[in-house]
Structure 1
Amino acid sequence: MLQPIFSVEEQNVVAYESLGRIRDERGVLTVVPEFLDPTVSAHRMSEIDRVLLQVALQRIQNTNDQLFVNMSPDQVILEYEESRGNTLPIADIVKQYGIPLNQIVIEITEKSGSFGTDVLAAGVELLREQGFGIALDDVGSESSNLERLGAIKPDIIKIDLNILKKSIEKREYQSILEYLKQISLSIGSQLLFEGIESEKELYQAVSSGASLLQGYFLGRPQEYNEDKKIICDLVSPQLQKYHETKRKEVAKEIELEKLIKTKLMSLSLKTIQLDNRVIIDPHSFFKLDPAIKRVYVTDWQGTQVSPYYERTSDSGFVENMSFLQKNWSYMPFFYKHVKQVFRDEKNWQVSDPYWDKTLKKNVIVFSHVNEMGFSFFVDLVLEDSK
């Protein structure tokens, strides 16, 4: 059976994953029994997979659709051991159907293998040299690891469906998705989110950087369907709604930033230096807007030189001395602040949102350098933060 894979970039079905499914006596699709048996050898699994591959190749023959084919780490090594000259067995099978090898994506499963990561990476490199695309399945599941991800450097990272589902309700899992998104950008991989079963999960996937989508919401495993219009008519309007929602969110964020910057520009950023400590007027900041929660000052190297002023009520705040001399340069917003100051030293700058564990809110940081060279940082919480 083949399950469609939708490209957000091309707004169309561009690939299918070959899934080992058979119909029981009632006509219900079930997984091939051997796939659920951990005692089945890599040789036997390869025999089954090669039969399924030939069935799938017949379906996509004379099309431009990519085909995703599952392969365990041990099967990758078996391909090398059974190779003849420079050609791998799977390459010989694909060539028989006149299909270019770059039309096939080898999806490395999350199963642990009998060999180390270095050996697996060498086997994957042979597949890549033949022309196959490489995907890494179920990234984020318990058995997957960053070492395998870094060693293989897949063309496509498939996100474990459980992380996608949990990320909708739990902030911690949203952070994991953001982390995987950054990894994919750093190694040049696409993100494929599988297991999408609802509109909400589709939105979460696209928001988390998905360029490829897969799941029952888009289409169930089937023999093969050349008519992709049904899926496009379903998904394209959903993506349009997503983009409209994001544009409204961006417009709202820009309006907030303009409002806060205007208020902050009205302040005089006076500082009084006493030895290694800097004194400011925190009350002038807190009365500007109730969403402002913290104010502090650092030197040019990011070392905090003022007390940490934290809001306690509508009009009250506390002076926290424990953060004096703490260096904040490791925070992602600090050197972005430095870069922005070089670009435009006259205006207040603003960071991207980040999750603050103490406030349990999304926070943006406004920053500015006064004439004495001290950096003012103002933490503001965003509405509707979970």
Structure 2
Amino acid sequence: MVSALEVTKQKQYVPLLQPIFSVEEQNVVAYESLGRVRDGSGQLALVPEFSEPNVTPLRMSVIDRELLSISLEKIKNTNDQLFVNMSPDQVILEYEECKGNVLPITEIVKHHGVSLNRIVIEITEKSGSFGTDVLAAGVELLKEQGFGIALDDVGSESSNLERLGAIKPDIIKIDLNLLKKSIEKREYQSILEYLKQISLSIGSQLLFEGIESEEELYQAVNSGASLLQGYYLGRPAEYNEEKQSICDVVVPRLQIYHENKRKEVAKEIEFEKLIKTKLMSLQLKTIKLDNRVIIDPQSFFKLDPMIQRVYVTDWQGTQVSPYYERTSDSGFIENMSFLQKNWSYMPFFYKHVKQVFRDSESWQVSDPYWDKTLKKKVIVYSRVNEMGYSFFVDLVLDESK
């Protein structure tokens, strides 16, 4: 019977290295090792074992360790990091083959004279034979050795938040299909925003892979990317230390992005000031009548046609006024169905409370959010009157401008 090692020796495995660009450092800082096999005619092809469903973790590790050794020789005299893929089962195999608290991969990297902190282990999206807790223990040992950890294809169908929470990777790689869908569909933009918040909460960087166009580059940076990867920046190659050509493409685009973003922010601030000035002209009078509060909604709807809804809550977030909704340029309806509903679960409510403590004299403004009922993007202006009631004004944004 031919061993996995003997099978490996019969083939010529070649690692291709794809550049990874740092938005912060404005340069290529790492490469991902992508395994290929060279046939008899010298042509490169995908490693067939990588797509075989029944290939053993041992055979995969034998191949990956050979590819790793070749990759290390290519980058050892540089400062670049190296990303290498490892399935969950391979992580457990490393754990099982550990000798005196030293992992097999640690021995290989040290043998080539490369610092362990220059290697990022990229945990693939494959499902493993063991539970998440076992995988987390194996990953923790990799971290203790000094390796960086990335979680691959977050946002793909097979990824899960449980693995993300258990591993707490240094880098979250966003599935390329999620990036592409986010350009066309708002729902996927919301998912990217959610992943951005998760990355901030656990201290991870976001790496967007599969970038193939200028539009996707802008979308990635706008979604919190600190690392970029894809054909638009550079294709996998046997190794090319010439990084300037990549910088010549990416850096000017990033400058354009930031210039446009600054103009967008300035426009948003100007708009917010305009609405705040209009709202400051109102007297926030309230009259308590039985179990509800009466206000003058007409005064709000006259201020600006983009004002869509007005209502009042108490300090705990319980709605105490009717829900006033615009029906036309000058008309509105009084909706009593939301009376006594508690809004404190909404993301903007306690942000409002916090802002009131900072400045009770001014109108506060929320971040935009997507309103499913209106099917439009909405921002909320809020302020507390002298009686302690919180006024909330929902304003629909005109995204065509």
Alignment map for 1:314-353 (pairs within 5 Å): 314-353=329-368
Structure 1 residues 28 and 242: CA distance shift in structure 2, 3 A: farther
Maintained 8 Å contact 1:329/1:335: yes
Question: Given the alignment, which residue of 371, 374, 384 partners 1:359?
Answer: 374
In structure 2, the residue matched to 1:115 is 130
Task: Give, in whole Å, the separation in 2 of the partners of 1:26 and 1:163.
Answer: 37
Q: CA deviation at 1:80?
A: 1.3
What is the root-mean-square deviation of aligned Cα atoms in Å? 1.3
Query: What is the match of residue 195 of structure 2?
Result: 180
* Structure 2 residue 278 is the aligned partner of structure 1 residue 263: yes
| Residue matched to 2:46 | 31
In structure 2, the gaps of 5 or more residues are: 1-15
**Aligned residue for 1:168?**
183
Q: Does 1:277 align with 2:277?
A: no
Which residue of 248, 255, 260 maps to 1:233? Answer: 248
Q: Distance in 1 between matches of 2:50 and 2:292?
A: 66
Deviations 1:9-34 (A, max 9, x none): 00000000000123556766431111
Q: Is the 8 A contact 1:83 1:89 kept in 2?
A: yes
Which amino acid letter does the alignment assign opposite residue 321 of structure 1? M
Opposite residue 297 of structure 2, the aligned amino acid is P
Q: Deviations over 1:75-120 (max 9, x none)?
A: 0010111121111000100011100000000000000000000000
TM-score (normalizing by structure 2): 0.94
Instruction: Provide Cα deviations, 1:52-97, integer angstroms capped at 9, x if missing partner.
Output: 1011101101111000000000000101111211110001000111
* Structure 2 Cα separation of the partners of residues 258 and 292 of structure 1: 15
Question: Which string of whole-angstrom CA distances, capped at 9 and with x for unpartnered residues, describes residues 278-330 of structure 1?
Answer: 11111111111111111000011110001111111111111111000001111
Partner of 2:173: 158
Aligned residue pairs, count: 386
Task: Describe the shift of the 1:384–1:26 C-alpha distance in structure 2 as closer, same or farther (beyond 3 A).
Answer: farther
Give the AA of the match of 1:356: D
Partner of 1:19, secondary structure, is: strand
User: Residues 249-298 of structure 1, C-alpha deviation per residue, up to 9 Å, x if partnerless?
Assistant: 10110011010001001111111110110111111111111111110000
- Paired residue type of 2:367: D
Instruction: Look up the SS of the partner of 2:184 in the other structure.
Output: coil
- Mapped to 1, the partners of 2:169 and 2:400 lie a distance apart of 34
Which of 159, 162, 177 is the equivalent residue of 1:144? 159
Query: Helix, strand or coil for the counterpart of 2:325?
Result: strand
Task: Work out whether residues 361 and 385 of structure 1, in 8 Å CA contact, stay in contact via their aligned partners in 2.
Answer: no
Partner in structure 2 of residue 191 of structure 1: 206
CA contact (8 A) 1:307 1:319 kept: yes
Aligned to 1:128: 143
- Alignment match, 2:5: none
- Structure 1 position 293 matched with structure 2 position 308: yes
Partner of 1:106: 121
Shift of 1:385: 6.9
Question: Are 2:310 and 1:310 aligned?
Answer: no
Is 2:31 the counterpart of 1:8? no
1:54 and 2:69 equivalent?
A: yes
- How far apart are the structure 2 equivalents of 1:27 and 1:308? 72
Q: Secondary structure at the match of 2:303?
A: coil
**Counterpart residue number, 1:218:** 233
The offset of 1:140, in angstroms, is 1.0
CA contact 1:307–1:323 (8 Å) conserved in 2:
yes
Identity value in percent: 84
How far apart, CA to CA, are the structure 1 residues paired with 2:140 and 2:346? 36
Q: Which amino acid aligns with 1:194?
A: E
